[in-house]
DNA sequence: GTGAAAGCGCTAACAC
DNA sequence: GTGTTAGCGCTTTCAC
């Protein structure tokens, strides 16, 4: 049922070696036109499909790359995967996708499995700031590109949205609306996005003349609706109605905030403005529709894939820089000026 | 850097064949305990990772399976993939995930690629009712399990939610609320879910004594918010305020309906009740929170994977039946009794 | 321009 | 229980 190169060669009346050359774009030039045509015809007739294992065994390449995400069910990641897959498949690579379920051990397992499959390279969206598995893989010389989240020390190329600018735009928008007392529910401290957005927040708040008070920040332990809600309760219990706006570490956290506001009889944006981050699908369908930072996830996936493909093609050495893509605040209904008599420096 | 079996054997002072047996759970019994230990130690010391290509070449199996989805960005599919991946990886399989972008040609391409990779089997969530590519693959003897959507004629095993029961529950819920004039915005006619839910709708409506009028049904060409909105406009223009409730073919369509209601100054559920299908993430965060049919997508993925694994283990022949998993209507805020003076047989 | 032959890393049938 | 051997399907160097 699955024909081999030998069979194709026989049918075309040539040696398997010749058939190989005729079928391979790279070496096709070494073979006479007539032979190429005959071999191709034979291949077609037998619906020949080269055996990628045999080829890989010989060439020591698999034309497979691994894509590792922390949670495929998080709407953030499918677009990244799609973008990457598009570029990679166009370049002849097949993707092995692994879901770590936000568990560093499962990330390490995935790397093991993927390396057992001899993937040519890795795209990893699950990196923690201090990620032994990533470091080990990188040190082992496996081409690896990080997405969205980067590691602190290991010099691994990464492609990400511009967190700094995204937060800056959010804070600026709120300040322009008249807010002065703006809180931040930051993402997990073990993730680069968590700390970098938090850092950007403190910076922006100072820069733009809003209140700079540690009491206005609370860290979430995970990027989830529940954690967002928990942190929102803690924050509101602590600062009361002093804060007039909240910048959430991401959209899930923002949704948690919205839930808590409803639970406490507060109305967004009248009593409190809320800004998310990522602009996940359906965030425009919430009520109020969420003001949030749109991140071009598909582009990020594409860019990471391109970086990897270039790396694998070996033209230039290992890329080492972080590539940052621009992001845009999308203003919707969850932000408005603070109510009368509020929003003044506290 | 990547050690081979031969190196492991040398280090353990045995023949490669023996090392192979010692490392393979299946054949381990044929080797003395002492040898097994020595070989395992050597393997560990060299951090030996078997070369899956070499093994595959020899055994003619890859322990890889392809998972083909129409659109990974549709929140429906990631849980399916996760469920399947969980079961498959536990059984030692690695998943190759392909996204067809709802394009039959790309589905065919994916099958080609996947077969080129010699996957042992296929899980396919992108099947159309009349799907040549699926038929061809199945006829070629590749083990294949369909998910969610099935083909009309080809006898291919499938795992799906109970569309019939889901729609029946939706209609019954509406009838119990007092609705008599219920419309249906069905899914695409080239997908089994589209026609089967439509069929179930007509049946339920008759069975439960609501209006059975073709004018109350309108088919969407795709499962999308935009198509849902388009179909909703067509329907409302045709039947005016006669209909008091709409059963949408899926959640995206329902969201489109909600958009149109807002656009026309109608209030859900006061003026019109809306029921979705699938219970995608965040459907509980819309306002009104969407009443919809919860489908256990992760279980469906798991079940399909189990079916495939059993098939591949070769114990019993090819499964041929469709497995149907129970679904549950989740009543939220988008359904309510019809307003006074409406909802009577029209 | 094409044929011959070796070998990638592994498994399995066959010896002993 | 272990060694030997052949060969999976392909690419690639070396002849010619």
A112–B75 CB contact, under 8 Å? no
pLDDT digits (tens, 9 = 90+) for A190-221: 999 999 999 999 999 999 999 999 999 999 99
- What torsion, rounded to 10 degrees, do the Cα atoms B35, B39, B41, B44 define? -160
Question: What is the domain-level CATH number for residue A20?
Answer: 1.10.260
pLDDT of residue A317: 76
Q: Which residue of A has its CA nearest to B258?
A: A285
Mean pLDDT of B47-63: 90
Question: Would the pLDDT of A345 be above 80?
Answer: no
* Closest-CA distance of chain B to residue A116, Å: 6
List bases, strand C, within 7 Å of protein CB: 1-5, 7-13
B88: left (phi over 0), alpha (psi -120 to 50) or beta: alpha
Mean pLDDT of B258-272: 97
Same domain, A218 and A290: yes
Mean pLDDT of A58-65: 92
**Of A290-304, B17-31, B42-56, which has the strongest mean pLDDT?**
A290-304
pLDDT of residue A86: 95
For residue B21, say whether its CB is under 7 Å from any atom of strand D. yes
Mean pLDDT of A145-171: 96
Any residues with CB less than 8 A from the CB of B118 and at least 6 apart, and which?
Answer: A2, A51, A52, A53, B56, B60, B62, B64
The residue that minimises its CA distance to C1' of D1 is B31
Mean pLDDT of the residues in chain B: 94
Provide the percentage of residues in chain B whose pLDDT is more than 90: 82
The domain of A334 spans 163-295+329-341
B81–A96 CB contact, under 8 Å? no
Same domain, B32 and B169: no
B95–A94 CB contact, under 8 Å? no
Question: Would the pLDDT of B324 be above 90?
Answer: yes
Mean pLDDT of A264-276: 97
Same domain, B175 and B287: yes
Half-sphere exposure of B80 (CA within 13 A, CB side): 30
Same domain, B310 and B213: no
- How buried is residue B178: exposed, middle or buried, by Cβ count under 10 Å (0-12/13-18/19+)? middle
Half-sphere exposure of A284 (CA within 13 A, CB side): 11
pLDDT of residue B167: 98
pLDDT digits (tens, 9 = 90+) for B149-184: 999 988 899 999 999 999 999 999 999 999 999 999
Q: Is B95 in CB contact (< 8 Å) with chain A?
A: yes
Distances (CA, A) of A272 to A186, A269, A330: 17, 5, 18
Same domain, A98 and A168: no
Q: Is residue A346 part of a domain?
A: no
Q: Is residue B151 part of a domain?
A: yes
Mean pLDDT of A38-52: 91
Same domain, B195 and B334: yes
**Which among B116, B141, B258 has CB closest to A52?**
B116
Same domain, B263 and B319: no
Cα(A39)–Cα(A20) distance, rounded to whole angstroms? 9
Collect all residues of chain A within an 8 Å Cβ-Cβ radius of residue B2.
Answer: 118
Q: Is B54 in CB contact (< 8 Å) with chain A?
A: yes
SS3 A146: strand
Residues near chain C (nucleic strand), Cβ < 7 A? A 13-18, 21, 30-32, 34-35, 54, 57-58, 60; B 4-6, 16-17, 20-21, 23-24, 26-27, 48, 50-51, 54-55, 57-59
Mean pLDDT of the residues in chain A: 94
Question: What is the domain-level CATH number for residue A253?
Answer: 3.40.50.2300
pLDDT digits (tens, 9 = 90+) for A240-249: 999 999 999 9
* Closest-CA distance of chain A to residue B49, Å: 6
A95–B95 CB contact, under 8 Å? no
Q: How many CB pairs under 8 A join A and B?
A: 104
Same domain, B167 and B307: no
Q: For residue A132, say if its preceding peptide bond is cis, omega within 30 degrees of 0.
A: no
Same domain, B249 and B273: yes
Cα(A247)–Cα(A245) distance, rounded to whole angstroms? 7
Same domain, B41 and B146: no
Q: Are the C-beta atoms of B99 and A82 separated by less than 8 Å?
A: yes
Q: Secondary structure of chain B: what % helix, strand, coil (to 5)?
A: 45, 15, 40
How many angstroms is C1' of C3 away from CA of A12?
14
Q: Is A72 in CB contact (< 8 Å) with chain B?
A: yes
pLDDT digits (tens, 9 = 90+) for A302-343: 999 999 999 998 877 778 889 999 999 999 999 999 986 655
B-facing residues of A in 102-131 (CB < 8 A) are 112-113, 115-118
Collect all residues of chain B within an 8 Å Cβ-Cβ radius of residue A267.
Answer: none
Provide the percentage of residues in chain A whose pLDDT is more than 90: 83
SS3 B4: coil
Q: Secondary structure of chain A: what % helix, strand, coil (to 5)?
A: 45, 15, 40
- The count of structural domains within chain A is 3
Q: What is the DSSP letter of A222?
A: S
Q: Is residue A269 part of a domain?
A: yes
Question: Would the pLDDT of B261 be above 70?
Answer: yes
Question: Would the pLDDT of A346 be above 70?
Answer: no
Mean pLDDT of B63-68: 96
The residue that minimises its CA distance to C1' of C3 is A15
Q: Is residue B346 part of a domain?
A: no
Same domain, A104 and A172: no
A285–B75 CB contact, under 8 Å? no
Half-sphere exposure of B262 (CA within 13 A, CB side): 13
Cα(A24)–Cα(B41) distance, rounded to whole angstroms? 42
pLDDT of residue A314: 80
SS3 B82: helix
Same domain, B261 and B179: yes
């Amino acid at each position: 049922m699955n024909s081999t190169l030998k069979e194709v060669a026989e049918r075309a009346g040539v040696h398997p070696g010749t058939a190989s050359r005729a079928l391979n774009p790279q070496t096709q030039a070494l073979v006479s036109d007539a032979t190429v045509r005959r071999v191709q015809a034979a291949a077609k007739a037998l619906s020949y499909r080269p055996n990628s294992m045999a080829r890989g065994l010989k060439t020591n390449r698999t034309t497979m790359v691994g894509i590792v995400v922390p949670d495929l069910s998080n709407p953030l990641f499918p677009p990244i995967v799609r973008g990457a897959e598009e570029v990679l498949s166009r370049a002849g690579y097949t993707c092995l996708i692994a879901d770590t379920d936000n568990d560093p051990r499962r990330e390490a397992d995935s790397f093991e499995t993927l390396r057992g499959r001899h993937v040519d390279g890795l795209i990893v969206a699950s990196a923690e700031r201090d990620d032994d598995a990533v470091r080990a893989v990188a040190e082992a010389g496996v081409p690896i590109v990080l997405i969205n989240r980067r590691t602190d020390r290991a010099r691994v190329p990464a492609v990400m949205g511009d967190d700094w600018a995204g937060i800056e735009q959010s804070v600026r928008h709120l300040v322009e609306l008249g807010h002065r007392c703006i809180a931040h529910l930051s993402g997990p401290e073990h993730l680069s996005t968590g700390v970098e957005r938090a850092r950007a927040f403190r910076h922006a708040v100072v820069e733009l003349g809003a209140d700079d008070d540690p009491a206005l920040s609370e860290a979430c332990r995970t990027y989830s609706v529940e954690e967002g809600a928990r942190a929102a309760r803690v924050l509101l219990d602590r600062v009361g109605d002093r804060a007039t706006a909240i910048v959430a570490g991401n959209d899930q956290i923002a949704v948690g905030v919205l839930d808590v506001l409803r639970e406490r009889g507060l109305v967004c944006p009248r009593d409190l403005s809320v800004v998310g981050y990522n602009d996940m699908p359906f965030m425009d369908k919430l009520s109020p529709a969420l003001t949030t930072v749109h991140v071009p996830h598909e582009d990020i996936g594409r860019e990471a894939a391109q970086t990897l493909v270039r790396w694998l093609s070996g033209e230039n050495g290992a890329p080492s820089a972080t590539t940052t893509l621009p992001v845009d605040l999308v203003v919707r209904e969850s932000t408005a000026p603070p109510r009368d008599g509020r929003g003044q420096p506290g």
